[in-house]
């Protein structure tokens, strides 16, 4: 909820419109300002990407669409449920352009932490033994008899 509130506040700041609220996030008319808000929230002052936050916002938007659509169907507001469907289609079409770089970055970081990427113990033992042998050989004085 805090992240959603930050998105709404960022949208208000960028559009300079204090009447925007949580429902306005899933209106197609506000998609460009939402995209700008996501970019500004997921970029550091130095200009580098905060991949985790950007991806988290993307999945939050998908979850928001599902909750909003369910709530609208429950209160029988079919026009708002259709708007949520249309926004979901728009988000799916633009997902690669907005969130794909963050998704790749997060997948790359998680693959680095996997044990299958680490070297095998046998290979490390061989390397250690060969390094120790070379160090011992270099440490010996060949001229001393």
Note down the domain range covering 8.
2-139
pLDDT in tens, the chain (145 residues): 788 888 888 888 888 888 888 888 888 888 999 999 988 888 888 877 787 888 899 999 999 999 999 999 999 989 999 999 999 999 999 988 888 888 788 777 776 666 666 778 898 899 999 999 988 888 886 666 5
Residue 144 falls inside a structural domain: no
Q: What is the per-residue pLDDT for 125?
A: 92
Distance of alpha carbon 139 from the chain centroid: 51
Residue 98 falls inside a structural domain: yes
pTM, two decimal places: 0.68
Residue 36 falls inside a structural domain: yes
Number of domains in the chain: 1
73-112 b/e (C-beta count within 10 Å ≥ 16 → b): eeeeeeebbebbeebbeebeeeeeebbeebeebbeeeeee
């Amino acid at each position: 909820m805090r992240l959603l509130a930050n998105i709404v506040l960022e949208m208000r700041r960028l559009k300079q419109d204090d009447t925007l609220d949580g429902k306005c996030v899933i209106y197609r008319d506000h998609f460009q300002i939402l995209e700008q808000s996501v970019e500004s929230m997921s970029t550091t002052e130095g200009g580098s990407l905060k991949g985790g936050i950007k991806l988290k916002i993307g999945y939050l938007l998908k979850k928001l669409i599902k909750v909003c659509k369910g709530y609208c169907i429950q209160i029988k507001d079919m026009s708002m449920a259709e708007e949520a469907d249309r926004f979901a289609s728009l988000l799916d079409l633009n997902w690669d352009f907005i969130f794909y770089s963050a998704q790749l970055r997060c997948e790359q970081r998680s693959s680095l932490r996997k044990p299958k990427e680490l070297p095998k113990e046998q290979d490390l033992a061989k390397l250690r033994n060969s390094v120790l042998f070379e160090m011992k050989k270099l440490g010996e004085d060949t001229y001393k008899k």
